[in-house]
Structure 1
Amino acid sequence: MQQQLQPAESTDSLTVEGTVTSDSADKPLPGVSVLVKGTQNGTTTNEDGHFSLTLSTQKEPVLSFSFIGYETEEIAVDGRRTINVVLKKEVEEMEDIVVVGYGSQRKQDLTGSISSVSATDIHKQSVTSAEEALQGQIAGVQVTKNSGAPGGGSTVRIRGTNSIRAGNNPLYVIDGLPIGGGSSPSQNPLSLINPQDIVSIEVLKDASATAIYGARGANGVIMITTKQGDRGDAQVNVEASYGVNRIRNKLDLMDTPQFVALANEAAANDGADPVFVNSPNSYPNTDWQDEVFRSAPRQNYQLSVSGGSEDTRYALSANLLDEEGLLIGSGYQRGSFRINFDKQVSDKFSIGNNLIVSRARYSLVETGGRGLSGIVNGALQIPSVVPVKDDDDNYVFQTDNTIERDNPVASALEKTNTSKQFKGIGNIFATYMLAEGLEVRVSIGGNLSYDKDNFYAPNSTLQGQQNNSLARVTTRQRFRWVNENTLTYNKEFAGLHDLTLLGGFTLEKVSGENLRGASSGFITDAFTYNNLNAGETPNNPSTGASTSTLASYLGRVNYNFDDRYLLTLTGRIDGSSRFGSGNKYGFFPSGALAWRISEETFMEEQDLFNNLKLRLSYGITGNQEIGNYAALTQLGNSQVTLGDRIAVGINPASLGNKDLQWEKTRQYNIGLDVGLINSRLSLTADAYYKKTTDLLLTRRVPRYTGYSQYLDNIGSTENQGFEVSLETQNILKSTFSWSTSINYSMNQNKVLELADDEPMYVGTPISFAGGQSFRILQEGGSLGTFYGYEYGGVYADQQAVDNSETALASTQPGDPYLKDISGPDGEPDGTIDGNDQTIIGNAFPDFTFGFTNNFFYKGFDLSIFIQGSYGNDVLNMNTLRLESTRGYTNQTTDVLNRWTPDNRNTDIPRATRSRNSAAQTAMRAISSRLIEDGSYLRLKNITLGYTFPVNWGQSLGARSVRLYVSGQNLFTATKYSGYDPDVSTYNNLGNLGADYGTYPKAKTYLMGIKLGF
């Protein structure tokens, strides 16, 4: 802070004026709040950063200067007339300080690849979960929203996918406490955090940054820092927002006249009587999408209080979120509370704590085909001729031709399908300065989760009728405690050498239990799921328990010579209970060098580069995310009926492997950081290569051993890619500013080695697709490849049938066929079988990108965020039902272009209810007809806000007032025919990129207000 002061004569009143500027850009700051402390007397700086304020001199006035993103300054007037102030950028905005594992560093001292998202970027998006704020914001981080359901989880991948059977989720660290990963609503550790409480998110990407977390660092690390208190008077902030979620687009499905024509045409082509004999207008014309989807309100409320004294700081917040889903009956409510506290007990000793607790309730949770996916599929597939209810006000179910489908409206409104979750995370810590530069820190923390899922299907639903009502209750509880002990030494020598040493020891234990009970045959719906004993047919209960431990030793050396040459050496030893007795411990080292070229003497005469740094790193990290007892021989149970009783037997279930060890990822990284024209342009670029070895895969053994396979360390994969981030300050004027940030990422994935050199076939087999897996993993290929047949189209005429070697005697023009490619050199061999399957697509994109523009004009601010993906394919399994042309389920309007004698130039088969085996195989197979281009360009977020002048806020008794409007997912450009191209119905590697009845994502219109007191 700089001040220019001039003495003034002593009077009862005094007019003070001056200019407020920024220390980072040496420019005037308009809109700065200038307030006489302890009063409501104040003003704001004009477009030139100038202010003028008349005040009383009787109480020794103190002026408080505050501005978003800058440190608040308090200055005693002391009779002076002119006060010029330079405000400093807030450290909390993480522009200068970056959180790393077990500490923090100046951004200019980083040697590893670490990217940040600031609180400003997070709050602009009005997201409900922290991982949503990462999508498109950071190069090298791909976030896929698995479902548009409120509170739904996301899949997060940092620099590609490494593992086949072990986990690929990053490690999450919240306020220094590692809490694991997960992406389902019940596992996602970020679902308990209100994004408005977050100060910054750091993503640790290369081995130099992640090796400090050893066996859990292979998939990257995401570090969340929540708001801390600050010294000064208590500040109260209130925020409220209200919005509406609306469906982004509906699928074009047949109406009743179109469906009646299709069904009757299918019957006629089979020589059968018409299905519908009356006029199409005499049947219902139900739009099932309109019946199950709605405009849904969303409201969010936040209250926070922070402040402190010279030796004590505190920050408290409470949040309430209530979001109804697009799908009737679905919703998400979350209440959370956070308290962060720290106290400087003495010059050497300090203590503190961080605590977050959250309570959430999900309505209509994902439960496979009978959950949200089942309801969405029902709305798509039930023909419009089926009404929601009959004349007696009873729900109508589709039961045609062995098809039994629950009424989606009944499923959504009549079934109870909820999940209640309680989560808590917190730690207490103490630091003590043993000597100058030598500090010890001890922390004890933990996170607890308790989930209870309740399900009840009454007789008003088809599922309830089939079971005479069905009830199910599932509970899960999980507790993790962590003890971390670190010793940090920092010393500067001779003004040239800066050395920081870190050493530590940590202990961790995770335990979990689950219980599931179910019953059916209820004579009344009065008890729902609350009295399983009331069911006539109880199901066998199931229980489970597991535990794992981790003991670790860690160390890091940071050396800085003359702010030019930087060295980081890191090592961690992890001992895990999850691995074999011969491989309990693993060592994970890394090293990194950086050269700040801009600090060299030969750069002194130039003024183009204010920052130019080259980074190199190499290291090894591990992946321990497998089952807790995978290394052990496990027992299982089986049941057999002997006479009139059930006998239970205990039998070996899996073969152990005492030599089982970690998956290891070796990563090389080269990076370049560039700042031009006083950081008006900042660029960061990284190229990397990762090789993961010792993959945890199954190896076959002879069946006479009593087993068929066991888990072993075999196989390897690689990921290599390039990332670039660019930030520009395009216009910096006192009244108008415009900044831009762009990020671009590309990653290439390859399988290098598999067990016994044999391909692996993965992906959930689909019953109506013949149980065919749709992904193949083979050496030289990608983990994202789709595997199936090449769809040939339809036989245009009889000549095409006669010329086909694979057509059957019953084949007719208009029937579909698959390409015969299994002969020599891809030539036909006259047979369609499994050998004709091939690579038909890839779920991984060629590249992803994000593009943000921020504008500021006087009190107005505007943010526009565009995000996209290019080159990824989507397996649209909805097509198997919606383009079957059989007349049993509803169809897309594309089927209007089906084959007829007068419309032969098409690839959509003729209408028929019965097909020969070849045609049936072609329609049910996983084939290229299901593969669609999933590339998209999306207007992800646009926010317009206005911050009122201080004197306007004072009339409300407020320190600051801001109004804003926001829109999310307003526009998406894509060729994909489904609800959304950013989709992954099944959250696992084998089913990545598949879409089957996925809950659509909403476009959101929202407005809100922020008040500061």
Structure 2
Amino acid sequence: MKTIANGLLFLLLFAPACMLGQTTLSGIVTEQSTSLPLPGVNVLVKGTTAGTATDFDGEYKIEVNNGDVLLFSFIGYQSQEITYSGQTELNVVMQEDAAQLDEVVVIGYGSTTKKDATGAVELLKAEDLNKGAIVSADQMINGKSTGVRIVNSGGQPDANPNIRIRGGSSLSGNNSPLIVIDGIPLSNISPAGQANPLTLVNPNDIESFSILKDASSTAIYGSRASNGVIIITTKSGSKGAPKFNLSSSVQVGTLSDKITVFNASEYSDFINALYPDSSSLLGVNGTVYNTDWQEEIYRTSMSVDNNFSARANLFGKVPFRASFGHSGITGILKESQLNRYTASLNMAPEFFDNHLKVTINAKGIATEKDQPDEGAIGSALELNPTQPVFDPNGGKFDGYYQLTDADGNVGPTNALAKLKQRERNEDADRLLGNLELNYKFHWLPELRAIVNMGLDYSESDINEFYLQKAIDAYTVFEGLEIFNNFSPNYEETQIKRDHTLDGYLSYTKRLEGFVTKVDAQAGYAYQNFYSEGIKHPTNTDNGFRQLSEIVRYANELNLQSFFGRLNLDLKDKYLFTASLRADGSSLFSEDNRWGYFPAFAFAWKLDEEGFLSDSNWVNTLKMRIGWGLTGQQDITGTAGYYPYTALYVDGDPTVSYIFGNQVYTTYRANVYNPNLTWEKTKTLNVGVDFDLFENVLSGNIDYYIRETEDLLAEVPQPEGALKNRFVSNVGNTESEGVELALQLKPITTDDFSLEINGNLAFNETYVTNLENIEQYSSGGGIGRGTGVNILQTAVGQRGRSFWLYEQVYNSNGAPIADAFVDQNGDGVISDSDRVFTPVDPKWTYGFGTSIFYKNLDFSANFRGQLGGHIYDANLLNRGYSDVAIPTNDTGYIKNALNLFDGTNYNGFQEKQSDLQALSDFYLSDATFLRLDNITLGYKLENFISKNLSLRLYASVNNVFVITDYKGLDPENFDGIEQSPYARPRTYTFGVNLDF
């Protein structure tokens, strides 16, 4: 009652003054769910044309008279009408309107809304992302976005992700999407010691992902956007009350599956039944041990993740956010450890009556990684399971049991010793920062000038060494043999400096009449990528591996661009977009340096037409069509940084000259191609976006055709060339795809809601032309002789294909060695009888559900693929019985895959020829369904105090995989499984505190 009386007294005192004339009213508009400011909210004096809009920080100013009715409106939020009653400040909280919610999507050099987007653009906000044991940003979106396939290289704590949007567009060029973090495009090459570039951003700092897929949306980024763009926006400061967040979790990782080699009992039965002459080699001195070598090298891991963030308004004028995080991530392979420290800072002060906004972003990461010798995984598969890990007699191998032959030569390496007697430290410090100046002209507020300056700087140190006592122990003859070619040391230091500068003008204005909105940008972009370092690699001298002379390197890539884009909104229902970017790359000669990349798009809001505007079941219905041209120049991984220039490099030490007692290497001419030019990709995309039945069913469907010409591919060179393979512009590919994304919200009440989401994507890419080359080897080593590769690129085939013989089987279904189908019927088995089989799947999908009941939440996310193939190199190299018996009187036996039924070994008996290695017998369908993560949480609102909320949760990642593949894991980007680092199953228990 006292508050009401004070309010009435205030109004009585100030009402006369307010009635004398217009008053300047100001305030901040925020959204209810996050208390964050809302830019772009329309503030209108009802019944007049007088109005304004909130700025970047939700602030507005407007001249009003007492009694005026103010209308606050913003797409996706409930409009509010408030009668002005004399105050000078009015803060407004906007509530989301589920029936018309339309999220802001960050695109290149600007933003739009999902409703106004003309290209194939997808927005994933924090609440849409994967939960649980999340180490890096890529794991947050895996399976969440249609047409985006992410396959990690293994179970390492910082496993490098292979990310493909719509399958990629190149053969030998880079196929990864451009990653942009708060306006800074990242290099495609990570610093030494950081395998995953997306560990740079603390997942707790991420606000949203915008994924740009088609050329009409990506062409504004030009040459770096042929494979799509992933824009990461991190959380920013606020002008509201201070808010803090503390999150902490503990993760327990376990080995989810093992490769099925014999255990000790099975191995003894196998040897005694098939190779009784070798039974004396079971155990040690009559004692048979039971050693599971895979269990010995793997472990149950314990990891922790702690993060703290603060958001406030410093001095009442500077929106501010800072965060700090530490992750201690233990790998399930012993000696595998990653410590990551992250810090971030965001400040956005404004000057000159809010006409100049200065945004400062800084992100720092320090990683300390212990990288184990992953060769221990292969050793664990071949070691005799009846022998011990540790020598019962101590022995000279630092206590580890190690097989030797009669002459003392070392046999298969003790897998645990491999891990314990080698240490490799990879440390890297990295800073990503930018300063953005955004000036709104006083004399023309619709026109803004933006300058964005960014720096990505890193320093890395790598040191590798082996315990001296291990080196001494494994040296059989001094100066001649080192255990398993162990190196005394390896060292590398590296510095990377990447600079970015963007300068552009942006004009946005709402109009009356046929043209209702104009949005245009034009500017210049500069990117320079530089790295330098020193390596101390090893070389062999008299049998010893020791540090060689210092190897120095320095590489630089420069890109400069001019760009422009125009968006027109006609009658609030017809949307046109046109853009053009001119890119210059230092990878090409002056004659071929510049590429020009245009794009056009049109969208039609059918829901705004008269025949649908009054519909009670159509909320949004939009058709889109777009065409664009993008470029590709990133061939540094295959051709280096100076592929068009004639250079000399150090000669190979194996080709040297001796003068007196001194050995000299010489310079040699390096291969180059002065005719290299841009690889170009044209994409046509047609799509439909819809939201039906009051937001119950929403989604989109897209169809695209993509053609790439002047392919940059590493192909065989003519005889007499300086190198037998080098990059050239050689041909064309064609891609076709369909994408479908759906979100269903069948139940939404105050206490209970159910959401189901799913996505399905089809993609296939065929090579249509390689000029004068029909096909060439594209790698695919399988642990056999030199040149035995099984991957091939060929005209008329999928971009990545196995090239194998079709196996012939006997009447019992067993394969017949070196017997293959004569495909052309000429009576001779030759390369012409080999069959192409695609590596990549045509279909990928993901689906999940979220259930909310009062303060309880549950989510589960699945993903998988239909088709694709995987080659089981373990079956080739360990799936024959004779692998177990001694060879050349070595005196030791090896383990094999468990294919023994008690009587017969259901595989080959002998090691097969290199010809048999080219059989599709080792090929399997890679179809799978994976339950990626499940999470159960409970939130306590107003915990202890009204400003305190606490959420407790538990989650499991990599819950199970359903597949017919008999190997370890069908999800393999390279398509060949040999000795993989198994993906862990991870249990997470966490707490999240907001206050």
TM-score range, shorter-chain basis?
0.7 to 0.9
**How far apart, CA to CA, are the structure 1 residues paired with 2:697 and 2:437?**
41
User: In structure 2, the residue corresponding to 1:283 is in which secondary structure?
Assistant: coil
State the match for 1:60 in structure 2. Answer: none
**How far apart, CA to CA, are the structure 2 residues paired with 1:274 and 1:330?**
36
Tell me whether 1:422 sits opposite 2:429 in the alignment.
Answer: yes
Aligned match for 1:879, one of 875, 881, 905: 875
Aligned match for 1:113, one of 93, 108, 120: 120
Deviations 1:309-367, CA, capped at 9 Å, x for gaps: 664211100010011111111111100000011111123112121110000122125xx
| Alpha-carbon distance change, 549 to 414 in structure 1, aligned in 2, over 3 angstroms | same
State the match for 2:528 in structure 1. Answer: 509
Instruction: Give the conservation status (yes or no) of the 8 Å contact 1:172–1:189.
Output: no
**How far apart, CA to CA, are the structure 1 residues paired with 2:928 and 2:988?**
24
| RMSD of Structure 2 on Structure 1 (CA) | 3.4
Tell me whether 1:947 sits opposite 2:900 in the alignment.
Answer: no
| Alpha-carbon distance change, 736 to 464 in structure 1, aligned in 2, over 3 angstroms | farther
Aligned match for 2:210, one of 202, 208, 223: 202
Aligned match for 1:240, one of 223, 248, 270: 248
Worse overlay, 565-574 or 622-631: 622-631
Deviations 1:800-850, CA, capped at 9 Å, x for gaps: 9xxxxxxxxxxxxx9941333347x34643xx55454322x3221121111
| Alpha-carbon distance change, 8 to 479 in structure 1, aligned in 2, over 3 angstroms | closer
Tell me whether 1:214 sits opposite 2:225 in the alignment.
Answer: no
Tell me whether 1:1007 sits opposite 2:989 in the alignment.
Answer: yes
State the match for 1:455 in structure 2. Answer: 464
Deviations 1:184-218, CA, capped at 9 Å, x for gaps: 96353311111110000111000111000001110
| Alpha-carbon distance change, 129 to 699 in structure 1, aligned in 2, over 3 angstroms | closer
State the match for 1:443 in structure 2. Answer: 452
| Alpha-carbon distance change, 292 to 698 in structure 1, aligned in 2, over 3 angstroms | closer
State the match for 1:644 in structure 2. Answer: 661
User: In structure 2, the residue corresponding to 1:893 is in which secondary structure?
Assistant: coil
How many Å apart are 1:518 and its aligned residue? 4.0
State the match for 1:151 in structure 2. Answer: 158
Instruction: Give the conservation status (yes or no) of the 8 Å contact 2:736–2:763.
Output: yes
Instruction: Give the conservation status (yes or no) of the 8 Å contact 1:301–1:321.
Output: yes
State the match for 2:18 in structure 1. Answer: none
**How far apart, CA to CA, are the structure 1 residues paired with 2:513 and 2:862?**
46
**How far apart, CA to CA, are the structure 2 residues paired with 1:274 and 1:453?**
45
State the match for 1:591 in structure 2. Answer: 600
How many Å apart are 1:109 and its aligned residue? 0.7
Deviations 1:894-918, CA, capped at 9 Å, x for gaps: 2447747xxxxx5x223x5xx6xxx
**How far apart, CA to CA, are the structure 1 residues paired with 2:491 and 2:817?**
46
Instruction: Give the conservation status (yes or no) of the 8 Å contact 2:670–2:722.
Output: no
**How far apart, CA to CA, are the structure 1 residues paired with 2:284 and 2:502?**
75
| Alpha-carbon distance change, 771 to 326 in structure 1, aligned in 2, over 3 angstroms | same
5 Å-filtered alignment, 1:342-361, equals: 342-347=348-353, 348-361=355-368
Instruction: Give the conservation status (yes or no) of the 8 Å contact 1:469–1:521.
Output: no
| Alpha-carbon distance change, 10 to 653 in structure 1, aligned in 2, over 3 angstroms | closer
Deviations 1:506-527, CA, capped at 9 Å, x for gaps: 11211111221146899xxxxx
5 Å-filtered alignment, 1:609-624, equals: 609-624=618-633
Instruction: Give the conservation status (yes or no) of the 8 Å contact 1:182–1:188.
Output: no
How many Å apart are 1:922 and its aligned residue? 5.7
State the match for 1:38 in structure 2. Answer: none
Deviations 1:884-942, CA, capped at 9 Å, x for gaps: 21114312222447747xxxxx5x223x5xx6xxx54466x132222122211111111
User: In structure 2, the residue corresponding to 1:546 is in which secondary structure?
Assistant: strand
Instruction: Give the conservation status (yes or no) of the 8 Å contact 1:881–1:889.
Output: no
User: In structure 1, the residue corresponding to 2:784 is in which secondary structure?
Assistant: helix
How many Å apart are 1:263 and its aligned residue? 3.9
State the match for 2:975 in structure 1. Answer: 993
How many Å apart are 1:1006 and its aligned residue? 0.8
State the match for 2:343 in structure 1. Answer: 337
| Alpha-carbon distance change, 699 to 879 in structure 1, aligned in 2, over 3 angstroms | closer
| Alpha-carbon distance change, 778 to 862 in structure 1, aligned in 2, over 3 angstroms | same
**How far apart, CA to CA, are the structure 2 residues paired with 1:180 and 1:898?**
57
Q: Using structure 1 for the length normalisation, give the TM-score.
A: 0.82
Instruction: Give the conservation status (yes or no) of the 8 Å contact 1:570–1:590.
Output: yes
Q: What stretches of structure 1 of length at least 5 have no aligned partner?
A: 13-28, 34-68, 79-84, 366-370, 523-534, 801-813, 901-905, 985-991
Tell me whether 1:690 sits opposite 2:706 in the alignment.
Answer: yes
| Alpha-carbon distance change, 971 to 465 in structure 1, aligned in 2, over 3 angstroms | closer
How many Å apart are 1:277 and its aligned residue? 7.6
How many Å apart are 1:398 and its aligned residue? 4.6
| Alpha-carbon distance change, 505 to 770 in structure 1, aligned in 2, over 3 angstroms | closer
| Alpha-carbon distance change, 131 to 30 in structure 1, aligned in 2, over 3 angstroms | closer
Q: What stretches of structure 2 of length at least 5 have no aligned partner?
A: 9-30, 36-75, 86-91, 475-480, 885-892
Tell me whether 1:171 sits opposite 2:178 in the alignment.
Answer: yes
5 Å-filtered alignment, 1:764-913, equals: 764-768=780-784, 771-793=787-809, 816-822=816-822, 825-826=824-825, 828-829=827-828, 833-839=830-836, 841-886=837-882, 887=884, 888-896=893-901, 899=904, 908-910=907-909
Worse overlay, 258-267 or 858-867: 258-267
Tell me whether 1:629 sits opposite 2:636 in the alignment.
Answer: no
Instruction: Give the conservation status (yes or no) of the 8 Å contact 2:673–2:728.
Output: no
5 Å-filtered alignment, 1:526-545, equals: 537-545=546-554
Deviations 1:571-594, CA, capped at 9 Å, x for gaps: 100111111221111100000000
**How far apart, CA to CA, are the structure 2 residues paired with 1:161 and 1:283?**
53
How many Å apart are 1:606 and its aligned residue? 1.9
5 Å-filtered alignment, 1:98-109, equals: 98-109=105-116
How many Å apart are 1:276 and its aligned residue? 3.6
**How far apart, CA to CA, are the structure 1 residues paired with 2:486 and 2:180?**
47
How many Å apart are 1:739 and its aligned residue? 1.0
Deviations 1:407-446, CA, capped at 9 Å, x for gaps: 2211212210221111111101111112220000111111
Instruction: Give the conservation status (yes or no) of the 8 Å contact 2:282–2:288.
Output: no
Q: Using structure 2 for the length normalisation, give the TM-score.
A: 0.83
How many Å apart are 1:238 and its aligned residue? 0.4
Give 1:757's aligned amino acid: I
Give 1:873's aligned amino acid: H
| Alpha-carbon distance change, 605 to 236 in structure 1, aligned in 2, over 3 angstroms | closer
**How far apart, CA to CA, are the structure 1 residues paired with 2:968 and 2:159?**
16
State the match for 2:378 in structure 1. Answer: 377
Deviations 1:211-232, CA, capped at 9 Å, x for gaps: 0000111011110000001111
User: In structure 2, the residue corresponding to 1:376 is in which secondary structure?
Assistant: helix
**How far apart, CA to CA, are the structure 2 residues paired with 1:663 and 1:11?**
69
**How far apart, CA to CA, are the structure 2 residues paired with 1:663 and 1:586?**
9
| Alpha-carbon distance change, 274 to 467 in structure 1, aligned in 2, over 3 angstroms | closer
**How far apart, CA to CA, are the structure 2 residues paired with 1:538 and 1:7?**
80
**How far apart, CA to CA, are the structure 1 residues paired with 2:723 and 2:863?**
49
Instruction: Give the conservation status (yes or no) of the 8 Å contact 2:347–2:360.
Output: yes
**How far apart, CA to CA, are the structure 2 residues paired with 1:592 and 1:286?**
64
How many Å apart are 1:781 and its aligned residue? 0.4
How many Å apart are 1:958 and its aligned residue? 5.6
**How far apart, CA to CA, are the structure 2 residues paired with 1:819 and 1:898?**
25
How many Å apart are 1:89 and its aligned residue? 3.4
| Alpha-carbon distance change, 582 to 736 in structure 1, aligned in 2, over 3 angstroms | same
Instruction: Give the conservation status (yes or no) of the 8 Å contact 1:336–1:356.
Output: yes
Deviations 1:543-580, CA, capped at 9 Å, x for gaps: 21111111110000000012200000011001111112
**How far apart, CA to CA, are the structure 1 residues paired with 2:281 and 2:720?**
59
Instruction: Give the conservation status (yes or no) of the 8 Å contact 2:779–2:790.
Output: yes
State the match for 2:14 in structure 1. Answer: none
5 Å-filtered alignment, 1:948-963, equals: 948-950=940-942, 952-954=943-945, 959-963=948-952
State the match for 1:483 in structure 2. Answer: 501
**How far apart, CA to CA, are the structure 1 residues paired with 2:835 and 2:876?**
19
Instruction: Give the conservation status (yes or no) of the 8 Å contact 1:552–1:574.
Output: yes
